[in-house]
Amino acid sequence: MSKNVAIIGGGIIGLCTAYYLQKEGHHVTVIDKSDFSSGASFVNAGYITPSHFIPLSAPGMITKGLKWMLNASSPFYIKPRLDVDFIKWSWAFKKSATKEKVEQAIPILIDFNVFSRDLYEDIKASQEFDFHYERKGLLMCYKSDEVGEEEWKIGQRGIQEGLDVKHLSAKEVEQIEPNAKLDIKGAVYFNSDAHMTPSDFMPQMIAHLKSEQVTFYANETVDDIEVSNGNILALKTNHRTIPIDEVVLAAGSWSPFIAKKLGINIPVQAGKGYRINVERDTQITIPAILCEAKVAVTPMQGFTRFAGTMEIGDINHDISPVRVNAIASAAEAYYSNLKINTLEKNNADCGLRPCSPDGLPYIGKSSKCKNLTIATGHAMMGWSLGPATGKLVSDIICEKRPSLNLDPFQPDRKF
Protein backbone atom coordinates (compact mmCIF):
# COMPACT_ATOMS: atom_id res chain seq x y z
CA MET A 1 0.00 0.00 0.00
CA SER A 2 1.35 3.40 -1.00
CA LYS A 3 1.97 5.83 1.85
CA ASN A 4 2.65 9.53 2.15
CA VAL A 5 6.10 9.68 3.74
CA ALA A 6 7.75 12.90 4.90
CA ILE A 7 11.51 12.86 5.41
CA ILE A 8 12.90 15.58 7.68
CA GLY A 9 16.45 16.19 6.49
CA GLY A 10 17.89 16.42 2.99
CA GLY A 11 21.42 15.12 3.58
CA ILE A 12 22.82 11.83 2.34
CA ILE A 13 20.67 9.80 4.77
CA GLY A 14 17.46 11.58 3.79
CA LEU A 15 18.11 11.36 0.05
CA CYS A 16 19.02 7.67 0.14
CA THR A 17 15.89 6.99 2.18
CA ALA A 18 13.81 8.85 -0.41
CA TYR A 19 15.50 6.83 -3.18
CA TYR A 20 14.47 3.46 -1.77
CA LEU A 21 11.01 4.56 -0.62
CA GLN A 22 10.04 5.97 -4.03
CA LYS A 23 11.20 2.69 -5.60
CA GLU A 24 8.61 0.97 -3.41
CA GLY A 25 5.90 3.25 -4.79
CA HIS A 26 5.49 5.63 -1.86
CA HIS A 27 4.74 9.35 -2.20
CA VAL A 28 7.80 11.01 -0.68
CA THR A 29 8.36 14.57 0.53
CA VAL A 30 11.78 15.79 1.69
CA ILE A 31 11.95 18.84 3.98
CA ASP A 32 15.17 20.64 4.82
CA LYS A 33 16.02 23.87 6.62
CA SER A 34 18.65 24.65 3.95
CA ASP A 35 18.54 24.78 0.16
CA PHE A 36 19.94 21.24 -0.33
CA SER A 37 23.40 22.52 -1.27
CA SER A 38 25.38 22.61 1.99
CA GLY A 39 26.12 20.79 5.23
CA ALA A 40 28.06 17.72 6.29
CA SER A 41 26.87 15.74 3.26
CA PHE A 42 28.72 18.19 1.00
CA VAL A 43 31.94 18.78 2.95
CA ASN A 44 32.84 15.23 4.05
CA ALA A 45 35.74 13.12 2.79
CA GLY A 46 33.51 11.02 0.53
CA TYR A 47 34.73 7.71 1.96
CA ILE A 48 32.94 4.38 1.80
CA THR A 49 34.75 2.74 4.68
CA PRO A 50 34.57 -0.90 5.73
CA SER A 51 37.96 -0.02 7.29
CA HIS A 52 36.26 2.24 9.87
CA PHE A 53 35.07 -0.42 12.29
CA ILE A 54 36.44 1.05 15.53
CA PRO A 55 33.80 3.42 16.99
CA LEU A 56 34.72 6.89 18.23
CA SER A 57 33.97 5.76 21.79
CA ALA A 58 37.04 3.52 21.91
CA PRO A 59 39.05 2.93 25.10
CA GLY A 60 41.56 5.73 25.58
CA MET A 61 39.58 8.38 23.68
CA ILE A 62 38.51 10.16 26.88
CA THR A 63 42.13 10.41 28.03
CA LYS A 64 43.18 11.69 24.61
CA GLY A 65 40.27 14.13 24.60
CA LEU A 66 41.26 15.56 27.98
CA LYS A 67 44.84 16.00 26.79
CA TRP A 68 43.82 17.52 23.45
CA MET A 69 41.44 19.99 25.15
CA LEU A 70 44.52 22.05 25.97
CA ASN A 71 45.54 22.18 22.31
CA ALA A 72 43.52 24.47 20.03
CA SER A 73 44.71 22.61 16.92
CA SER A 74 44.06 19.07 18.20
CA PRO A 75 42.20 16.59 15.96
CA PHE A 76 39.62 15.71 18.64
CA TYR A 77 38.11 18.30 20.93
CA ILE A 78 35.18 18.23 23.34
CA LYS A 79 33.99 21.64 24.44
CA PRO A 80 32.82 21.29 28.07
CA ARG A 81 29.63 23.13 28.91
CA LEU A 82 26.86 23.17 31.50
CA ASP A 83 24.17 21.56 29.37
CA VAL A 84 22.07 18.62 30.60
CA ASP A 85 22.01 16.82 27.23
CA PHE A 86 25.76 17.21 26.82
CA ILE A 87 26.46 15.92 30.34
CA LYS A 88 24.21 12.88 29.78
CA TRP A 89 25.85 12.22 26.40
CA SER A 90 29.33 12.48 27.92
CA TRP A 91 28.45 9.98 30.63
CA ALA A 92 27.00 7.58 28.03
CA PHE A 93 30.16 8.03 25.92
CA LYS A 94 32.30 7.13 28.94
CA LYS A 95 30.23 3.99 29.62
CA SER A 96 30.50 2.99 25.95
CA ALA A 97 34.29 3.41 25.79
CA THR A 98 35.11 -0.16 26.84
CA LYS A 99 36.90 -2.99 25.07
CA GLU A 100 33.77 -5.16 25.31
CA LYS A 101 31.53 -2.53 23.67
CA VAL A 102 34.06 -1.99 20.87
CA GLU A 103 34.33 -5.74 20.25
CA GLN A 104 30.55 -5.93 19.91
CA ALA A 105 30.51 -3.01 17.46
CA ILE A 106 33.28 -4.23 15.12
CA PRO A 107 31.39 -6.91 13.09
CA ILE A 108 28.25 -4.75 13.09
CA LEU A 109 30.06 -1.77 11.55
CA ILE A 110 31.94 -3.89 9.00
CA ASP A 111 28.79 -5.63 7.77
CA PHE A 112 26.94 -2.30 7.64
CA ASN A 113 29.69 -0.59 5.62
CA VAL A 114 30.17 -3.50 3.20
CA PHE A 115 26.42 -3.66 2.59
CA SER A 116 26.32 0.08 1.94
CA ARG A 117 29.32 -0.08 -0.43
CA ASP A 118 27.54 -2.80 -2.41
CA LEU A 119 24.41 -0.65 -2.61
CA TYR A 120 26.44 2.32 -3.92
CA GLU A 121 27.78 0.02 -6.61
CA ASP A 122 24.24 -1.14 -7.44
CA ILE A 123 23.12 2.50 -7.77
CA LYS A 124 26.12 3.21 -10.02
CA ALA A 125 25.37 0.12 -12.15
CA SER A 126 21.71 1.16 -12.59
CA GLN A 127 22.74 3.54 -15.41
CA GLU A 128 20.49 6.22 -13.89
CA PHE A 129 23.50 8.24 -12.68
CA ASP A 130 26.95 9.32 -13.79
CA PHE A 131 28.61 10.12 -10.47
CA HIS A 132 32.27 9.72 -9.55
CA TYR A 133 32.98 6.46 -7.73
CA GLU A 134 36.33 4.71 -7.42
CA ARG A 135 37.42 1.70 -5.42
CA LYS A 136 41.13 2.29 -4.83
CA GLY A 137 41.25 1.44 -1.13
CA LEU A 138 42.51 3.57 1.73
CA LEU A 139 46.06 4.15 2.97
CA MET A 140 46.45 4.60 6.73
CA CYS A 141 49.76 6.53 6.59
CA TYR A 142 51.98 6.80 9.66
CA LYS A 143 55.21 8.56 10.58
CA SER A 144 56.08 6.77 13.85
CA ASP A 145 56.61 3.08 14.60
CA GLU A 146 54.27 3.31 17.60
CA VAL A 147 51.35 4.53 15.49
CA GLY A 148 52.25 2.03 12.77
CA GLU A 149 51.96 -0.81 15.27
CA GLU A 150 48.57 0.49 16.48
CA GLU A 151 47.26 0.73 12.91
CA TRP A 152 48.52 -2.73 12.00
CA LYS A 153 46.73 -4.23 15.02
CA ILE A 154 43.52 -2.73 13.63
CA GLY A 155 44.45 -4.00 10.17
CA GLN A 156 45.00 -7.52 11.50
CA ARG A 157 41.59 -7.40 13.17
CA GLY A 158 40.15 -6.36 9.81
CA ILE A 159 41.76 -9.43 8.23
CA GLN A 160 40.11 -11.61 10.89
CA GLU A 161 36.77 -10.08 9.86
CA GLY A 162 37.38 -10.88 6.18
CA LEU A 163 38.79 -7.58 4.89
CA ASP A 164 41.71 -7.38 2.45
CA VAL A 165 44.43 -5.53 4.40
CA LYS A 166 48.18 -5.21 3.81
CA HIS A 167 51.02 -3.62 5.78
CA LEU A 168 53.17 -1.61 3.36
CA SER A 169 56.63 -0.10 3.77
CA ALA A 170 57.28 3.46 2.57
CA LYS A 171 58.87 2.01 -0.58
CA GLU A 172 55.82 -0.19 -1.25
CA VAL A 173 53.55 2.83 -0.80
CA GLU A 174 55.67 4.73 -3.32
CA GLN A 175 55.15 1.94 -5.85
CA ILE A 176 51.36 2.40 -5.83
CA GLU A 177 51.39 6.19 -5.20
CA PRO A 178 54.61 7.22 -7.03
CA ASN A 179 54.11 10.95 -7.58
CA ALA A 180 52.55 12.13 -4.31
CA LYS A 181 55.92 12.26 -2.48
CA LEU A 182 54.68 10.91 0.84
CA ASP A 183 57.04 11.44 3.77
CA ILE A 184 56.05 8.45 5.92
CA LYS A 185 57.43 5.29 7.52
CA GLY A 186 54.70 3.10 6.06
CA ALA A 187 50.97 2.53 5.71
CA VAL A 188 48.28 -0.02 6.42
CA TYR A 189 46.36 -0.46 3.18
CA PHE A 190 42.66 -1.36 3.27
CA ASN A 191 41.76 -2.57 -0.20
CA SER A 192 38.11 -2.76 0.86
CA ASP A 193 37.36 0.98 0.68
CA ALA A 194 36.02 3.25 -2.03
CA HIS A 195 35.60 7.01 -2.46
CA MET A 196 33.34 9.52 -4.18
CA THR A 197 32.84 13.24 -4.76
CA PRO A 198 29.87 14.28 -2.56
CA SER A 199 29.20 17.53 -4.44
CA ASP A 200 28.85 15.41 -7.60
CA PHE A 201 26.53 12.74 -6.17
CA MET A 202 24.14 14.93 -4.17
CA PRO A 203 22.82 17.11 -7.05
CA GLN A 204 22.47 14.04 -9.28
CA MET A 205 20.43 12.22 -6.64
CA ILE A 206 18.21 15.28 -6.07
CA ALA A 207 17.59 15.63 -9.82
CA HIS A 208 16.79 11.93 -10.11
CA LEU A 209 14.35 12.03 -7.18
CA LYS A 210 12.59 15.06 -8.62
CA SER A 211 12.21 13.22 -11.93
CA GLU A 212 10.55 10.41 -9.93
CA GLN A 213 8.01 12.87 -8.46
CA VAL A 214 9.62 13.23 -5.03
CA THR A 215 8.63 16.62 -3.57
CA PHE A 216 11.32 18.89 -2.11
CA TYR A 217 10.66 21.75 0.30
CA ALA A 218 13.79 23.86 0.78
CA ASN A 219 14.44 26.41 3.53
CA GLU A 220 11.60 25.09 5.67
CA THR A 221 11.74 24.24 9.36
CA VAL A 222 9.41 21.86 11.18
CA ASP A 223 7.87 24.16 13.77
CA ASP A 224 5.13 21.90 15.10
CA ILE A 225 3.97 18.29 14.90
CA GLU A 226 0.32 17.28 15.11
CA VAL A 227 -0.03 14.06 17.11
CA SER A 228 -3.01 11.91 18.10
CA ASN A 229 -2.88 8.63 20.05
CA GLY A 230 0.84 8.16 19.46
CA ASN A 231 0.57 8.82 15.72
CA ILE A 232 1.86 11.83 13.81
CA LEU A 233 -0.95 13.25 11.66
CA ALA A 234 0.81 16.22 10.09
CA LEU A 235 3.97 18.29 10.09
CA LYS A 236 3.67 22.05 10.31
CA THR A 237 6.54 23.99 8.77
CA ASN A 238 7.06 27.74 8.56
CA HIS A 239 5.24 27.64 5.20
CA ARG A 240 2.69 24.81 5.14
CA THR A 241 0.95 21.87 6.81
CA ILE A 242 1.88 18.46 5.42
CA PRO A 243 -0.49 15.54 6.15
CA ILE A 244 1.45 12.26 6.40
CA ASP A 245 1.21 8.52 7.02
CA GLU A 246 4.87 8.06 8.04
CA VAL A 247 7.71 10.36 9.10
CA VAL A 248 11.45 9.74 8.83
CA LEU A 249 13.64 11.84 11.10
CA ALA A 250 17.00 12.18 9.32
CA ALA A 251 17.95 15.70 10.33
CA GLY A 252 21.48 14.88 11.49
CA SER A 253 22.69 17.02 14.39
CA TRP A 254 19.30 18.78 14.53
CA SER A 255 17.36 15.52 15.06
CA PRO A 256 17.28 15.73 18.89
CA PHE A 257 15.58 19.14 18.79
CA ILE A 258 12.78 17.82 16.56
CA ALA A 259 12.47 14.59 18.55
CA LYS A 260 11.93 16.60 21.73
CA LYS A 261 8.71 17.99 20.21
CA LEU A 262 7.46 14.39 20.52
CA GLY A 263 8.88 13.81 23.99
CA ILE A 264 11.64 11.58 22.58
CA ASN A 265 15.24 11.83 23.71
CA ILE A 266 17.93 10.98 21.14
CA PRO A 267 21.43 11.35 22.63
CA VAL A 268 23.32 13.10 19.81
CA GLN A 269 26.03 15.74 19.91
CA ALA A 270 27.23 17.69 16.90
CA GLY A 271 30.81 16.95 15.84
CA LYS A 272 32.20 19.68 13.63
CA GLY A 273 34.55 18.71 10.81
CA TYR A 274 36.45 20.96 8.40
CA ARG A 275 37.52 20.61 4.79
CA ILE A 276 39.99 22.34 2.47
CA ASN A 277 39.71 21.89 -1.30
CA VAL A 278 42.84 22.17 -3.46
CA GLU A 279 41.69 22.69 -7.03
CA ARG A 280 44.94 21.87 -8.81
CA ASP A 281 46.91 18.74 -9.53
CA THR A 282 48.42 17.36 -6.32
CA GLN A 283 49.52 14.05 -7.90
CA ILE A 284 47.53 12.27 -5.16
CA THR A 285 45.58 9.32 -6.58
CA ILE A 286 44.79 7.10 -3.56
CA PRO A 287 42.74 8.22 -0.53
CA ALA A 288 44.73 8.37 2.68
CA ILE A 289 44.34 9.10 6.35
CA LEU A 290 47.32 10.83 7.93
CA CYS A 291 47.20 8.89 11.16
CA GLU A 292 49.02 11.05 13.68
CA ALA A 293 47.12 14.16 12.53
CA LYS A 294 43.76 12.41 11.89
CA VAL A 295 43.47 14.16 8.51
CA ALA A 296 41.62 12.53 5.60
CA VAL A 297 42.84 13.05 2.04
CA THR A 298 40.61 12.32 -0.95
CA PRO A 299 41.33 12.75 -4.68
CA MET A 300 37.92 13.93 -5.90
CA GLN A 301 36.62 14.91 -9.31
CA GLY A 302 38.67 17.98 -10.26
CA PHE A 303 40.23 18.65 -6.85
CA THR A 304 41.81 17.09 -3.76
CA ARG A 305 40.04 17.38 -0.42
CA PHE A 306 41.78 17.54 2.95
CA ALA A 307 39.38 17.02 5.85
CA GLY A 308 39.72 16.66 9.59
CA THR A 309 38.94 17.38 13.24
CA MET A 310 36.12 16.18 15.45
CA GLU A 311 35.03 19.20 17.47
CA ILE A 312 32.12 18.28 19.75
CA GLY A 313 30.37 21.40 20.95
CA ASP A 314 27.50 23.77 20.28
CA ILE A 315 25.68 23.78 16.96
CA ASN A 316 27.34 26.46 14.87
CA HIS A 317 29.25 26.83 11.62
CA ASP A 318 32.02 29.06 12.90
CA ILE A 319 35.31 28.42 11.14
CA SER A 320 38.38 28.15 13.36
CA PRO A 321 41.47 29.37 11.43
CA VAL A 322 43.65 27.50 13.94
CA ARG A 323 42.03 24.18 13.04
CA VAL A 324 42.09 24.93 9.31
CA ASN A 325 45.81 25.75 9.55
CA ALA A 326 46.38 22.53 11.50
CA ILE A 327 44.84 20.47 8.68
CA ALA A 328 46.93 22.32 6.06
CA SER A 329 50.14 21.95 8.06
CA ALA A 330 49.54 18.24 8.59
CA ALA A 331 48.93 17.69 4.88
CA GLU A 332 52.15 19.52 4.00
CA ALA A 333 54.09 17.48 6.57
CA TYR A 334 53.05 14.19 4.95
CA TYR A 335 53.14 15.27 1.27
CA SER A 336 56.53 16.91 0.78
CA ASN A 337 55.62 18.53 -2.57
CA LEU A 338 52.36 20.03 -1.29
CA LYS A 339 51.77 23.64 -0.30
CA ILE A 340 48.24 24.80 0.57
CA ASN A 341 47.90 28.52 -0.09
CA THR A 342 46.08 31.22 1.85
CA LEU A 343 43.13 31.43 -0.56
CA GLU A 344 42.52 27.69 -0.27
CA LYS A 345 42.57 27.93 3.51
CA ASN A 346 40.28 30.98 3.47
CA ASN A 347 37.77 28.99 1.41
CA ALA A 348 37.58 26.21 4.00
CA ASP A 349 34.13 25.00 5.04
CA CYS A 350 32.72 22.89 7.83
CA GLY A 351 29.85 20.52 8.56
CA LEU A 352 28.22 19.04 11.66
CA ARG A 353 28.20 15.27 12.11
CA PRO A 354 25.63 13.72 14.48
CA CYS A 355 27.51 11.62 17.05
CA SER A 356 25.88 8.97 19.21
CA PRO A 357 27.64 8.00 22.45
CA ASP A 358 28.47 4.42 21.39
CA GLY A 359 29.45 5.01 17.75
CA LEU A 360 26.39 3.25 16.32
CA PRO A 361 23.63 5.17 14.55
CA TYR A 362 19.97 5.20 15.55
CA ILE A 363 17.80 3.41 13.00
CA GLY A 364 14.30 2.27 13.80
CA LYS A 365 11.03 3.22 15.43
CA SER A 366 10.79 4.67 18.89
CA SER A 367 8.27 3.04 21.19
CA LYS A 368 6.86 6.52 21.84
CA CYS A 369 5.60 7.14 18.30
CA LYS A 370 4.07 4.53 16.00
CA ASN A 371 4.73 6.12 12.62
CA LEU A 372 8.09 7.78 13.20
CA THR A 373 11.30 6.13 11.97
CA ILE A 374 14.55 7.62 13.26
CA ALA A 375 17.73 7.60 11.15
CA THR A 376 20.55 9.66 12.62
CA GLY A 377 23.72 9.49 14.74
CA HIS A 378 26.10 8.23 12.03
CA ALA A 379 29.02 10.47 13.11
CA MET A 380 31.87 10.28 10.56
CA MET A 381 30.27 7.40 8.64
CA GLY A 382 27.16 9.16 7.38
CA TRP A 383 28.35 9.22 3.78
CA SER A 384 29.54 5.63 3.91
CA LEU A 385 26.31 4.34 5.46
CA GLY A 386 23.84 6.43 3.43
CA PRO A 387 22.42 3.79 1.06
CA ALA A 388 22.35 1.03 3.70
CA THR A 389 20.46 3.30 6.10
CA GLY A 390 18.02 4.33 3.39
CA LYS A 391 17.38 0.69 2.51
CA LEU A 392 16.84 -0.26 6.16
CA VAL A 393 14.38 2.59 6.69
CA SER A 394 12.51 1.52 3.55
CA ASP A 395 12.38 -2.05 4.89
CA ILE A 396 10.90 -0.76 8.16
CA ILE A 397 8.20 1.38 6.53
CA CYS A 398 7.35 -1.31 3.97
CA GLU A 399 7.17 -3.85 6.83
CA LYS A 400 9.69 -6.09 5.11
CA ARG A 401 12.27 -8.26 6.79
CA PRO A 402 15.20 -5.85 7.37
CA SER A 403 18.33 -6.34 5.26
CA LEU A 404 20.45 -6.26 8.45
CA ASN A 405 19.73 -6.95 12.12
CA LEU A 406 18.34 -3.70 13.51
CA ASP A 407 18.72 -4.54 17.20
CA PRO A 408 22.09 -2.72 17.68
CA PHE A 409 20.61 0.49 16.22
CA GLN A 410 17.43 0.77 18.27
CA PRO A 411 16.68 4.44 19.07
CA ASP A 412 15.40 3.55 22.55
CA ARG A 413 18.54 1.63 23.58
CA LYS A 414 19.97 2.32 27.02
CA PHE A 415 23.52 3.44 27.72
Predicted TM-score (pTM) of the model is 0.96
User: Which of the four pLDDT bands, split at 50, 70 and 90, describes residue 78?
Assistant: confident
Question: What sections of 24-125 are H helices per DSSP?
Answer: 40-43, 61-68, 84-96, 99-125
Q: Say if 207 falls within a structural domain.
A: yes
User: Which of the four pLDDT bands, split at 50, 70 and 90, describes residue 311?
Assistant: confident
Q: What is the CATH number of the domain that holds 93?
A: 3.50.50.60
Q: Where in the sequence is the domain holding 164, given as residue range(s)?
A: 4-409
Q: State pLDDT tens for residues 338-353.
A: 999 999 999 999 999 9
Q: Say if 379 falls within a structural domain.
A: yes
User: Which of the four pLDDT bands, split at 50, 70 and 90, describes residue 56?
Assistant: confident
Q: Say if 150 falls within a structural domain.
A: yes
Separation of alpha carbons 186 and 174, rounded Å: 10
DSSP 278-315: E-S-----S-EEETTTTEEEEEETTEEEEEEEEEEESS
SS3 122: helix
Q: Say if 414 falls within a structural domain.
A: no
* pLDDT on residue 82: 86
Mean pLDDT in residue range 201-212: 98
Give percent above pLDDT 70 in the chain: 98
User: Which of the four pLDDT bands, split at 50, 70 and 90, describes residue 69?
Assistant: low
Residue 66 predicted with pLDDT over 70: no
Residue 150 predicted with pLDDT over 70: yes
Residue 12 predicted with pLDDT over 80: yes
CB 144 within 8 A of CB 294: no
User: Which of the four pLDDT bands, split at 50, 70 and 90, describes residue 287?
Assistant: very high
Residue 26 predicted with pLDDT over 70: yes
Q: Say if 415 falls within a structural domain.
A: no
Residue 61 predicted with pLDDT over 80: no
Q: State pLDDT tens for residues 110-119.
A: 999 999 999 9
Total domains in the fold of the chain: 1
Q: Say if 303 falls within a structural domain.
A: yes
Q: Which residues lie closer than 8 Å to 235 by C-beta, 6 or more apart?
A: 6, 8, 31, 222, 224, 225, 226, 241, 242, 244, 247
* pLDDT on residue 397: 98
